[in-house]
């Protein structure tokens, strides 16, 4: 069941699932572009994996997505605004510290948030985003153009076609998503990434050209490690069994060391 809260004038949907008798250490999940809580986290098995291990699973539905409000103004989607939404959810729930986990765009949002609110996080898991956190400014602008087209049958670029199909399948607002692509083109510099001291796991599929390699990104960070999701592309890496196991082991190691 989804709940909602209001931040920055927008109604934002979220899930919050805890388990009686468990340690209930909170994990905040931030989904990827054109996705949703259900598609990014529930269906691929993250709620079950984390819940079975005793974690309190919290997930935000990003502005412009799913059951959250969907402004069509480009400036509504500055990455810092979406990062502030995620922090506001923790405030709304009265949670001082949590693990944070993001995939693709959600990983970018999480990384930005870790630069201005590191004290809120025990650790961070970035999935589906490697060195393109720095070398890129989000998804190619051509995806926005594909979302705005009235003749989707004539889209020939494979990545544009993939995201258009994905957005339509998930019943998203295509114009809100196009505004999201255009508005969230802020980047992090190498210098900014080097200041991220939150313990971090960066997991990327070995067949994922969207994300960029995790290894050069990890090399810039003082407290990070990489995990290769073997044989997976950007879509299939999300719920890969080895990915889920690696993230869970990462959290458990940090919990064992004392939070």
The token duo for 138 is 């989000």
Q: Please report which residue ranges of 42-157 form alpha helices under DSSP H.
A: 46-52, 79-93, 105-116, 132-135, 141-148
**pLDDT at 138 (0 to 100):** 76
Q: What is the pLDDT of residues 77-128, one digit of tens each?
A: 999 999 999 999 999 999 999 999 999 999 999 999 999 999 999 999 999 9
Residue ranges covered by each domain of the chain: 3-137+186-254
196 within 8 A of 114, measured Cβ to Cβ: yes
Q: What is the pLDDT of residues 182-201, one digit of tens each?
A: 999 998 999 999 999 999 99
**pLDDT at 136 (0 to 100):** 78
**pLDDT at 129 (0 to 100):** 97
Fold type of domain 3-137+186-254: Rossmann fold (3.40.50)
The token duo for 44 is 């691929």
**pLDDT at 109 (0 to 100):** 98
Tell me the whole-structure pTM to 2 decimals. 0.97
**pLDDT at 1 (0 to 100):** 86
Long-range contacts of 17-20 (CB under 8 A, 24+ apart): 17/47, 17/51, 17/56, 17/57, 17/58, 18/56, 18/57, 19/51, 19/54, 19/56
- pLDDT < 50 regions, the chain: none
22 closest CA partner among 57, 58, 54, 56: 54
Phi/psi-derived region of residue 166, left when phi > 0, alpha when psi is between -120 and 50, beta in every other case: alpha
DSSP 190: H
102 within 8 A of 127, measured Cβ to Cβ: yes
């Amino acid at each position: 069941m989804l709940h909602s809260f209001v931040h920055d004038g927008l109604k934002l949907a979220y899930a919050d699932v805890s388990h009686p008798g468990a340690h209930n250490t909170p994990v905040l999940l931030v989904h990827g572009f054109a996705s949703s809580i259900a598609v990014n986290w529930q269906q691929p098995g993250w709620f079950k994996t984390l819940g079975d291990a005793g974690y309190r699973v919290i997930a935000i539905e990003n502005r412009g997505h799913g059951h959250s409000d969907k402004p069509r103004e480009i400036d509504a989607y500055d990455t810092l605004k979406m990062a502030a939404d995620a922090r506001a959810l923790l405030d709304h729930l009265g949670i001082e510290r949590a693990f944070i986990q993001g995939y693709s765009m959600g990983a970018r949002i999480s990384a930005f948030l870790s630069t201005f609110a590191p004290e809120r996080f025990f650790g961070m898991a970035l999935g589906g985003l490697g060195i393109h956190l720095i070398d890129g400014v989000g998804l190619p602008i051509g995806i926005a153009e594909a979302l705005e087209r009235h003749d989707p049958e004539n889209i020939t670029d494979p990545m544009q076609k993939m995201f258009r199909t994905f957005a339509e399948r998930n019943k998203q607002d295509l114009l809100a998503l196009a505004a999201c692509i255009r508005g969230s083109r802020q980047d992090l510099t190498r210098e900014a990434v080097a200041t991220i001291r939150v313990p971090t796991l960066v997991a990327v599929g070995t067949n994922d050209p969207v994300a960029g390699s995790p290894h050069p990104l990890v090399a810039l960070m003082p407290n990070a490690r990489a995990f290769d999701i073997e044989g997976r592309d950007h879509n299939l890496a999300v719920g890969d069994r080895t990915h889920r196991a690696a993230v869970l082991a990462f959290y458990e190691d940090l919990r064992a060391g004392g939070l």
